[in-house]
Amino acid sequence: MKTHQDEQRQVWIGLATVHQRPGAGVLMDRNDAFVNVLALASTQGEFADVVRDDLAQLGFDLVELEDTERLSERRKSFTVPEEINRLAGLTLATGKAQFDAFHTWASGDEPT
């Protein structure tokens, strides 16, 4: 049964900078990455909590989360790529956070 809070939840988007935990092996020989992430939330704080928790389950620590806003707001100012729209649909359908491609770099190097 949906609660009032569930009805208020919307798809949020943000750019996460992450650090891979030792032994996770997800990023092969790279330690750091940035990734667009989409998740359902009622507030910016709830979005950050969801992203942090889901990244932890994947073996990452959230270093920074920036450019966070409701996806509906982003669409008012920018053309959103089709892949982001696809991920938004998956977020709505599953209720789970979705991650775009991880862009990596080795620790000590600048991101490319």
Written as six digits, the tokens of 11 are 């798809």
Q: What is the pLDDT of residue 2?
A: 46
Q: What is the pTM of this model?
A: 0.84
Written as six digits, the tokens of 110 are 């600048």
The span from the CA of 79 to the CA of 83, in Å, is 12
Q: By the 8 A CB rule, do 20 and 34 touch?
A: no
Q: What is the pLDDT of residue 18?
A: 94
Q: What is the pLDDT of residue 8?
A: 87
Q: What are the extents of the domains in the chain? A: 4-105
What averages of pLDDT result for each successive group of 10 residues across the chain (112 residues)? 62 96 73 94 97 94 96 96 97 95 72 52
Q: By the 8 A CB rule, do 49 and 110 touch?
A: no
